[in-house]
Structure 1
């Protein structure tokens, strides 16, 4: 499972690092257009890579209702969530929006535990709370006056006049959309991660870019557009591929907890690039997140459980759950680090070993 944890933290690293880089591009690109170009870079880059990798079109491993899960994830997270956030940012400050964005990890974990019945121990819950607390501390304004400005006036008339309730509400809805997206994506995590991330990027990018141009955004300079697409390829595309791989082996709540370290990584990169001084908030947030990650790393969950017979297709290595034989024609021509991919059958199996709520461990407790 160490590789899956590395995937999750690598995803957070790329996404967190992309935030200060994307902020530099806001000087030349309006927010909605920038968001569209980031997603387009991810979608076009990953789908082109996939065509080259597979030497043409290859089935992504989605079957039956899987297409519905993916379509729902793209529509709710990539399109509705992104658009809702953009409109929410028009009615709230950056500081309060940063505070509210930490709700994504909370909503994701709650949905995973309460709706999708993913198992969680007290250690995992405590670790999640520590990581989220670190994100809140990191986003909290250092100056009391800034905090007051972020939270808005306490006067009901001032709130009503500025529409201050609308911005936080929309940002919270966007976080809920992404939480639903994360849990729906978990349903198809066994399929080709590059296709999942690429198709989401392409659809969300086309919708956001078309919306920005329809609202009057000017055509972007070529250099700025290419820079945005490159940042999007790494920070939104490759990052999502790694996150899907982490979902496959860790489950939704745990992968999202590791990904919640992205704000800390983003601030650290910004400090290195801009040479700003660190604050006690930065170090306090880092300590809380480190404690949360340590709690997750130390989780040990093992009990006797039964696997029912199952047939599916996904990337895998031969292990206790993939003890099958096959001829070379049935395997992928490009095994790589993920092993190989083909349609295979799991026979009924009962055993005991440490495990996470991954693709093969969706049992009840």
Structure 2
């Protein structure tokens, strides 16, 4: 059992920003060595590096997190996010990076936020305000600007491939958000192993060879940070922010990649990229200014996940009784975190909230 440390949404924001920075740096770095092997082999090695990093993190943390483990009913969505996010997305990205510049590719990765948000709203019942709609249009317009071949080599085929990767990751993000109540480190590790092993076997069976040692170590290192640590941190952000708002935070990733491409890789910063950047930054700014709060009702809900227990009150969503085996004898006197199955009683109240797993409700016009 661990003591409460700060506001969960604040920690979710920090985790999301770190995940965005790590992933944002990965795209331009991959572009440098994207021709050192087939897209299948490169994707396999990226997730192999992710698995190694997550195993190391798990060895350090052990069972300190008191998380709810993955259950049998979680395997279908876990399989879906592993195939789409762990295989289809990386393969499309690596292939697309051979056809567009690193800077243009970084900006095109903003489409992941748009797809994540649209799927969250249209299928996942998350709320999208007028500001959210305006922001989505702005980001999409910026992406369209990058589809012209004159804009620093962003060919149509390359754009389609990277957009396909973003769509796969958008579905992955929404599936991950549904599983975010489970142990995020366990989910990230299962995804990394489940993606890397089959792809590596397929690549070797097809006669493909491992790249030279410098490229091999580079790919494993990029995967460790840009995929392994990034996926784990992003799952924490999805838990506390919901898929729609997480997509806003993660929209900073493409601009990290763009800055790296221009400042480190010395790529040209074209007028088209400047216009696309301005539109996408404006869209992200509009979304960040959204503040959603109103009177709403929670229906009864039973599930298991890590949550805050505060004997003196606190989170009104988790004020419930505990049986003897749910609270250990050495439980701290103050607030703490723990995980067990519990029932949410019906409650109606008003507060600022995001579309996390506890706030999936309908909205009247204007809310």
Name which of 102, 119, 137 aligns with 1:111. 119
The partner residue of 1:150 within 151, 155, 159 is 155
* Structure 1 partner of 2:354: 356
The match for 2:40 is: 32
Residue in 2 aligned with 1:161? Answer: none
Q: Deviations over 1:273-322 (max 9, x none)?
A: 23445444444444333322322222121221122232323233342322
* Correspondences of 1:121-200 after superposition (within 5 Å): 121-137=129-145, 139=146, 144=150, 150-151=155-156, 173-200=164-191
Change (3 A) 1:325 1:227: farther
| Residue matched to 1:320 | 316
Secondary structure in structure 2 of the residue aligned to 1:37: helix
Distance 1:292 1:85, change over 3 A: closer
How far off its partner does 1:4 sit?
A: 2.6
1:45 and 1:55, CA in 2 relative to 1: closer, same or farther beyond 3 A? same
Which sits farther off after the overlay, 347-356 or 268-277? Answer: 268-277
The structure-2 alpha-carbon separation of the partners of 1:180 and 1:15, relative to structure 1 and needing over 3 Å to count, comes to same
Paired residue for 2:12, among 4, 24, 40?
Answer: 4
Tell me the residue number matched to 2:79: 71
SS of 2:211's equivalent in the other structure is coil
What secondary structure does 2:296 align onto?
A: strand
Task: Check conservation: 1:132, 1:260, Cα contact below 8 A.
Answer: no
Structure-to-structure mapping, 1:253-332, within 5 angstroms: 253-276=244-267, 278-318=269-309, 319-324=315-320, 330=326
Q: Which runs of 5+ in 2 are unaligned?
A: 1-8, 310-314
TM-score between both structures, scaled by the size of structure 2: 0.79
Farther-moved stretch of structure 1 (19-28 vs 232-241): 19-28
The verdict on how the C-alpha distance between 1:124 and 1:328 changes in structure 2, with shifts beyond 3 A counting, is farther
Residues 114-149 of structure 1: CA deviation (Å, up to 9, x unaligned): 222221101112223333444554x456x73866x8
Report the Cα offset of residue 81 of structure 1.
4.0
Quote the Cα distance in structure 1 between the aligned partners of 2:225 and 2:199.
Answer: 18
2:199 paired residue number: 208
**Superposed CA offset, 1:180-219 (max 9, x none):** 2222112111111111111111111112222222232223
| Consecutive unaligned residues in structure 1, runs of 5 or more | 152-163
- Which protein is richer in helix relative to its size? 1
From 15, 25, 43, give the equivalent of 2:51.
43
Change (3 A) 1:145 1:40: closer
Query: Is the Cα contact below 8 Å between 1:135 and 1:260 reproduced in 2?
Result: no
Report the counterpart of residue 157 of structure 1 in structure 2. none
Contact 1:135 1:261 in 2 (8 A): no
Kindly report the root-mean-square deviation, in angstroms, between the aligned alpha carbons of the 2 structures.
3.6
Contact 2:24 2:255 in 1 (8 A): yes
Q: CA deviation at 1:46?
A: 0.8
- The Cα shift of 1:243 comes to 1.7
Mapped partners of 1:58, 1:220: distance in 2: 40
Contact 2:70 2:186 (C-alpha < 8 Å) held by counterparts: no
